[in-house]
Amino acid sequence: MSIDDIKAQAEERMGKALSALHDNFSSVRTGRANAMALDRIKVDYYGVPTPVNQMAGVKTPDAHMLVIEPWDKTTLKAIEKAILESDLGVTPSNDGTVIRLPFPALTEERRRELVKQCKAYSEEARVAIRNIRRDANSAVEKCIKEDSLPEDEQRRAEGAIQKITDKFIAEVDESFKKKEAEVMEV
């Protein structure tokens, strides 16, 4: 494996760590209703765990309400049960044709808890990125020894890997700042 391959692989893995961070952030509930909150909820649909958004239309009529309109009305009870069993923290109301999910406004204390949770997610991403950097530096070191390349080549490669790492860490910090502002917004 060449040094360029190692750098490209490290950048790809760091991109995946950043993507995982964004997935974690999307599951954190902010003050407004977001259809992405339902992405992790699976409904038992004829024995197959199916995401809610694949069996119903999800609408947001206002900032604090989600309306779930199943295409198959017989699945209403199953969707309601799956939402109740999830850790969403919202009680659905079923009127026979649609399910309404009212998202109450968050208290200051709950907002601070959510920011702590987001901070933990971003720290996990930073650690993952640093671990990828360590792996890439080890691979460069191994490549230098096997191909008997000069040490200054190793320093250049490690410097390039550090620049990639810094770029992704800055993206993690920026994502956290945006999410924190979104959660703390009243």
pLDDT of residue 186: 67
Residue-number span of the structural domain to which 80 is assigned: 35-102
Say which CATH number the domain at 175 has: 1.10.132.20
More confident residue, 39 or 82: 82
Say which CATH number the domain at 46 has: 3.30.1360.40
More confident residue, 34 or 98: 98
Kindly report, residue by residue over 94-105, the tens digit of the pLDDT. Answer: 888 899 988 877
Contact predicate 65/102, CB 8 Å: yes
31 pLDDT band, cuts 50/70/90, is low
**Are residues 98 and 133 located together in one domain of the fold?**
no
The structural domain count of the chain equals 2
Picking from 75, 102, 129, the residue at the C-terminal end of a domain is 102
pTM (2 decimals)?
0.74
Q: Please return the burial class of 100, using the count of CB atoms within 10 Å of its CB with bins 0-12, 13-18 and 19+.
A: middle
In the predicted structure, residue 16 carries a pLDDT above the cut 80: yes
Mean pLDDT of 158-180: 94
2 pLDDT band, cuts 50/70/90, is confident
Of residues 114, 99, 90, the one with CA closest to residue 182 = 114
**Are residues 63 and 76 located together in one domain of the fold?**
yes
Name the DSSP class of 109.
H
In the predicted structure, residue 88 carries a pLDDT above the cut 70: yes
pLDDT of residue 175: 93
pLDDT of residue 107: 83
Picking from 49, 78, 102, the residue at the C-terminal end of a domain is 102
**Are residues 77 and 116 located together in one domain of the fold?**
no
Measured over the CA atoms of residue 115, residue 120, residue 126 and residue 132, the dihedral's sign is negative
CA angle, corner 16, sides to 36 and 54, nearest 5? 30
**Are residues 98 and 114 located together in one domain of the fold?**
no
